[in-house]
Structure formats: structure tokens, C-alpha cells
Chains A and B, each alone.
Chain A
Amino acid sequence: DSGVTQTPKHLITATGQRVTLRCSPRSGDLSVYWYQQSLDQGLQFLIQYYNGEERAKGNILERFSAQQFPDLHSELNLSSLELGDSALYFCASSARGADTNTQYFGPGTRLTVL
């Protein structure tokens, strides 16, 4: 158990809908990262937040957005969903200090768009 929690574990929805994925980082971690992993594909970095502020953006679509709240949990919002958005969405967190590069992953949310 990495200490990173994600909800829900599974989500099934229809095209055009909007969903929100939630992530709670490990206690004390200030950075949160979101990744998308489609079937048999590599990890695609979406976005990073550090202590409530957006730090870096990767291959995140305009239909997707995220935020990190004062209690450091983060939410990833996916809207106008398409079939191709079906994937595993991982959240990871990393610590403040010397070991800032080790990311610890949550169990993921499996999104299925029908």
C-alpha cells in the first residue's frame, strides 16, 4: 500500500458525460501528479500540482482539468467524454525534500466510456 488513495476504483459512463476522479496523496506529500494509461500503453503524464498550484502540464486535453485543494487532495475532471478516454487514470504523489523525485502511485481509477 503506497498510501495514495484514489476513488472511485471503477467508473462506467457514456459519451458526452462528465466525471470527477479524486486523489488523496500520502501524508505530508505536497506534489500530486495525474497520469493516463490506455490499454497496453505507457504512462502519459497529464498534469502536476504542488501545494495547490499547477506546476507542470503534459499531454492533457482541453476537456480535462484538475485542481488541488488546501487539504492537498486533488481532483481530475474529465468532460465531454469520448470512447478514447477509456483508460486507467493514476494519481501519484511525491515528498518534499531530498527524495522529491520518487513518485508513489495510487491504485488507479479505471474509466470505461460506452
Chain B
Amino acid sequence: EDKVVQSPLSLVVHEGDTVTLNCSYEVTNFRSLLWYKQEKKAPTFLFMLTSSGIEKKSGRLSSILDKKELFSILNITATQTGDSAVYLCAVSMDSNYQLIWGAGTKLIIKP
């Protein structure tokens, strides 16, 4: 069965800390891995990763994929209270256009 597992499920840190969120997957015919951020509204797209070892970066957020070990990490440096959200990981496969979603990591940044 195809699955995506995120860890931790929740995380509380203080402003300025660096956090690392994990996403591991077991799917057939992997195509890409996507990260989304969801605050109290719709998920917003952050990154799409298709190749191992190539870091995607946007401001204080960065992500990397390891296709050999079947996981990805999302790093957030110098966290701010506005980073508080649920971070969702999803994986797509060559066989269809659906995304297999993880349960998300709820990140709380304390001032």
C-alpha cells in the first residue's frame, strides 16, 4: 500500500530556532514529492522535488530529497511566529495524477 509518513506530528519551538520536518514514503513508481503549508485556510504550495540531492530553497525554507532512502526534509531557519502552520508532504506517482498525502506536522512557534 502506498503511504507517506510525516514526523513529528507536532512540534513546539521558540522564535529564532531552526526546525527540521521529516517525510518518508513508500510508493510505487515515484514521480515527485511536494511540500505545502496550511494555515487556517487552504494549503499553499512550497516546493516540488524530483531529483535526489538537489536542494530547493525559498528564503528561510529549504528542502531536499533522498530517493535512495525514500525521504525528504523541510528545514526552516530563524523561525518566526508566522511560520506556525501545518506542513503537509505529498507524493505523486507516474501511474496517476493523484497525490498521496501525509498527515502533516503541526508546527507552533512561540514568541
Interface of A toward B, CB cutoff 8 Å:
2, 31, 33, 42-43, 45, 48, 50, 55-56, 58, 90, 94, 99-108
- Mark contacts of B32-47 with chain A using CB atoms, 8 A cut-off: 1 yes-contact digit, 0 otherwise: 1010000001111100
Binary CB contact string for chain B from 80 to 109 against chain A (1 if under 8 A, 0 otherwise): 000000001000100011110111100000
Residue among B31, B42, B44, B97 with the most chain A CB within 10 A?
A: B42
With a CB–CB cut-off of 8 A, which chain A residues contact B43? 43, 90, 105
- Residues of B contacting A101 in the complex (Cβ-Cβ under 8 angstroms): 31-32, 34, 48, 92, 97, 99
- Does the CB pair B96–A56 fall under 8 Å? yes
Question: Given known contacts A42-B103, A103-B45, A104-B45, what 12 new A-B pairs fall within 8 Å (CB)?
Answer: A2-B45, A43-B101, A48-B98, A55-B96, A101-B31, A101-B92, A101-B99, A102-B34, A103-B34, A105-B43, A108-B41, A108-B42
- List 8 A-B pairs, Cβ < 8 Å: A42-B88, A48-B97, A90-B43, A101-B92, A102-B34, A103-B99, A105-B42, A105-B44
Instruction: Report the separation of the CA atoms of residues A31 and B32 in the bound assembly, to the nearest whole angstrom.
Output: 17
Determine the distance from Cα of A58 to Cα of B32 in the docked complex, in whole angstroms.
Answer: 20
Tally of contact residues, B, Cβ under 8 A:
19
How far apart are the CA atoms of A43 and B96 in the complex, in Å?
Answer: 18
What 4 A-B pairs come out closest when comparing CB atoms? A101-B92, A105-B42, A42-B103, A101-B32
Residues of A close to B103: CB separation below 8 A: 42
B97 touches A106 (CB 8 A): no
* Residue in B34, B43, B88, B101 whose Cβ sees the most chain A Cβ within 10 Å: B43
Q: Which residues on the B side are within 8 Å of A43 (C-beta)?
A: 43, 88, 101
A99 to B45 alpha-carbon distance, docked (Å): 13
